[in-house]
Amino acid sequence: MSNIKKAFENGKAFIAFITCGDPDLETTGNAVREAVKNGADLIELGIPFSDPTAEGPVIQGANLRALNGGITTDKIFEFVRDLRKDVSIPLVFMTYANVVYSYGAEKFISTCNEIGIDGIILPDLPFEEKEEFSDVCDKYDVDLISLIAPTSENRIAMIAKEAKGFLYIVSSLGVTGARSEITTDLNSIVNVVRENTDIPCAIGFGISTPAQAEKMASLSDGAIVGSAIVKLLEKHGKDAPKYIGEYVRSMKEAIA
């Protein structure tokens, strides 16, 4: 049974995204620990990619800073091994298909299992291509997490039926980044999801304020926040963890 479901046993889940190595892995570790201490239920650890086509400018910037700092997949694996000594909440990787493919799918995903990564999110791997990695993910008990978009319509049921871990519902068209307003009819999407699967679903893309998080979590099982956290890292650098802690607390309190 997936470890990821534990993230949804503590009321509505607050899911935080952090790019590994921005500005360095020590700061990433401190940021994760602060987020956990302040109520984060699941952490998405971003493995930087040179050309992140699903990301807006904020997370693109984080990827660039991390890569310029010399971050690699191997260094991130070592970092997670160390993080797992005192962080027990579910952890998933978020990266792009080529990072996994180039490393060797079996080698990458077996290492995920070994170091305690519970799932993996690949925004450029839609339902039609998931067999690229799904067999290996099943073999090593790593959940390959599916995304549903505002344009998915007739595809929602098909995706939900085969979903693993949790379903990542993309709130809006476009790339990651804060939005003042989310206009998609998410209620209808969640209804179709519920009819087709028992696994939890959380909403992400564009969420930055406690009020938005509360609304999104009320429609689903949780809220995912990335760019707003990465912005704190961009602004405060090594001092960001304490601000991230405060921010996560305000978000978790809003949705609880």
Where does this chain bind other proteins (CB under 8 A)?
A: 49-51, 53-54, 56-57, 60, 67, 72-74, 96-103, 123-129, 131-132, 146-155, 159, 170, 173-175
Smallest gap from residue 182 Cβ to other proteins (A): 14
The residue (of 148 and 240) whose beta carbon lies closer to other proteins is 148
Q: Provide the 3-class DSSP secondary structure of residue 178.
A: coil
The residue (of 148 and 207) whose beta carbon lies closer to other proteins is 148
The residue (of 153 and 246) whose beta carbon lies closer to other proteins is 153
Smallest gap from residue 154 Cβ to other proteins (A): 8
Residues 214 and 222: their CA atoms lie apart, in Å, by: 9
Burial of 27-62, coded b for 16+ CB within 10 Å and e otherwise, reads bbbbbbbbbbebbbbbbbbbbbbeebebbbebbbbb
Smallest gap from residue 9 Cβ to other proteins (A): 27
The residue (of 53 and 88) whose beta carbon lies closer to other proteins is 53
The residue (of 67 and 178) whose beta carbon lies closer to other proteins is 67
State which amino acid sits at residue 65: R
With both helix axes pointing from N to C terminus, report the angle between 25-37 and 227-236 in degrees, rounded to the nearest 10.
Answer: 130
Smallest gap from residue 67 Cβ to other proteins (A): 7
Smallest gap from residue 80 Cβ to other proteins (A): 16
Instruction: Find all residues with CB under 8 Å of 134, minimum gap 6, and list them.
Output: 144
